[in-house]
């Protein structure tokens, strides 16, 4: 047994050796909370396990081709027609052979140019320690891709009218002043800013941790309201804004 103090202390290893694949699988699982749904679903012949936010997405997908990137989307195989699962870690193919593996986000648009009617990114671990903007004004090293840069790559694979579901945790975003900045405005304004790339904001849910007193007079220490899916939830439509978002199922569970 090896004690791991930090996620990045347990790096992926490049090799086809069986032992290495086991190592990489464990490393992959450390950062993919939704992988647990796949573990449960594969043991059932008639049940696909999802959560309330998954259900909300399913209710709002357009007909057509759907891509899940970096989000363990294979657990939704069977729930979504014409599903493409794209991941960056080759170990995923050892348990889900249909996965498409890319080295970086720039390959997505090259493999699937203007293909998808829906594009989904849910709390991708690869977004950790990332800045929102790639402007020099953001005050970070421009050699490190930003969320803005990721978005530029994603839209290359979208058809006009594609619905883009994007969620992440505010605690993964760096290089902004949490003390002097209005948190809600910071992320909401970024969502509006993305219109420069043809992404029209259709819906958003931006929530932050609120310390509530417990019965024992202590306070909860939750990082944010939704660590599993991300507390910054955004839905866009690419080069269009006619798609209607049904919030019924979201409000049932989150409001």
Are 201 and 236 in contact by the 8 Å Cβ rule? The answer is yes
Question: Residue 228 belongs to what domain range?
Answer: 50-254
Q: For residues 209 and 219, what is the distance between their CA atoms, to the nearest angstrom?
A: 11
The answer to whether position 125 is within a domain reads: yes
CATH of the domain at 182: 3.40.50.150
Distances 49 to 65, 77, 97, 153, 241 between C-alpha atoms, Å = 21, 11, 20, 30, 31
Q: What is the pTM of this model?
A: 0.86
Q: How many domains does the chain have?
A: 1
Query: Which tens digit of pLDDT belongs to each residue from 48-81?
Result: 889 999 999 999 999 999 999 999 899 999 999 9
The answer to whether position 160 is within a domain reads: yes
Q: For residues 120 and 61, what is the distance between their CA atoms, to the nearest angstrom?
A: 10
Q: For residues 34 and 29, what is the distance between their CA atoms, to the nearest angstrom?
A: 9
The answer to whether position 217 is within a domain reads: yes
Query: Which tens digit of pLDDT belongs to each residue from 90-146?
Result: 889 988 999 999 999 999 999 999 999 999 999 998 888 888 988 655 444 555 679
The answer to whether position 42 is within a domain reads: no
Query: Which tens digit of pLDDT belongs to each residue from 193-210?
Result: 999 999 999 999 999 887
Instruction: Give the mean pLDDT of the chain.
Output: 84
The answer to whether position 87 is within a domain reads: yes
Closest to 252 in 3D by CA, of 60, 53, 76, 62: 53
The answer to whether position 21 is within a domain reads: no
Query: Which tens digit of pLDDT belongs to each residue from 9-32?
Result: 555 556 555 445 666 656 666 666
């Amino acid at each position: 047994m090896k004690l791991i103090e930090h996620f990045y202390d347990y790096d992926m290893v490049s090799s086809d050796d069986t032992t290495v694949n086991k190592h990489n699988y464990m490393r992959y699982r450390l950062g993919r909370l939704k992988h647990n749904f796949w573990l449960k679903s594969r043991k059932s012949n008639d049940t696909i396990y999802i959560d309330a936010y998954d259900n909300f997405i399913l209710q709002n997908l357009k007909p057509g081709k759907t891509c899940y990137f970096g989000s363990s989307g294979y657990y939704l195989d069977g729930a979504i027609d014409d599903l493409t699962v794209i991941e960056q870690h080759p170990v995923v193919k050892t348990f889900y052979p249909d996965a498409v593996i890319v080295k970086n986000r720039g390959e997505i648009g090259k493999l699937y140019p203007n293909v998808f009617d829906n594009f989904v990114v849910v709390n991708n671990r690869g977004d950790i320690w990332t800045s929102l903007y790639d402007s020099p004004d953001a005050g970070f090293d421009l050699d490190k891709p930003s969320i803005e840069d990721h978005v530029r790559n994603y839209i290359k694979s979208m058809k006009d009218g594609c619905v883009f579901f994007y969620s992440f945790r505010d605690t993964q975003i760096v290089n902004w002043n949490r003390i002097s900045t209005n948190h809600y405005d910071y992320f909401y304004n970024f969502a509006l800013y993305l219109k420069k790339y043809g992404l029209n904001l259709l819906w958003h849910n931006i929530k932050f941790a609120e310390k509530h007193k417990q019965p024992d007079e202590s306070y909860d220490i939750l990082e944010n309201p939704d660590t599993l899916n991300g507390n910054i939830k955004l839905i866009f439509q690419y080069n269009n804004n006619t798609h209607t978002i049904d919030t019924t199922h979201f409000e049932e569970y989150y409001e």
